[in-house]
Copies of this chain bind each other. A is one copy, B any other.
């Protein structure tokens, strides 16, 4: 492997580790040392590749939205059955997306503004633009995303509290069935 390839691989591993750590701990509680440990490098190398914790967070956000766009194309969050099933399946496999978004969305700061300008507005426009009022689209968007994601986002709690494993195929299917019955337009 060439030196350039090694560098790129280190950078990639750091970003993947950052996604996990930011989602697990939230921005403030996440530490660059823990990210470095997850990636199998030293903390010095993290600050070599990313000048600041904020810059690393933005790289992690880009990676997260790459996964999101791949799993649930923009505009796919709505009352369409296939879209709902896709979103439930994605939420179950990628609970880190929900954690990352809730962590960013609760404080009106520079990170939220950057996230909206860079990723969120583009996705929301695709949902809101498909007919109906913006207000109704907003309510439907947060209701479907919240209903689809919470059980998987607090999977440890769900397991210990209800005895049901949200990661199982049966649970994912049952959750999708429930949401389709609740939100799918019966056209």
Contact = CB atoms under 8 A, between A and B. Distances in A.
Count identical subunits in the complex.
2
Q: Is the interface of A mostly helix, strand, loop or mixed?
A: helix
A160 interface: yes
A139 B150 CA distance: 10
Given A162-B138, A183-B182, A112 B157 contact: yes
Interface residue range, chain A: 35 or more
A146 B140 contact: no
A143 B112 contact: no
Counting chain B CB atoms within 10 Å of each CB, which of A25, A128, A148, A157 scores highest? Answer: A157
A75 interface: no
A162 B124 contact: yes
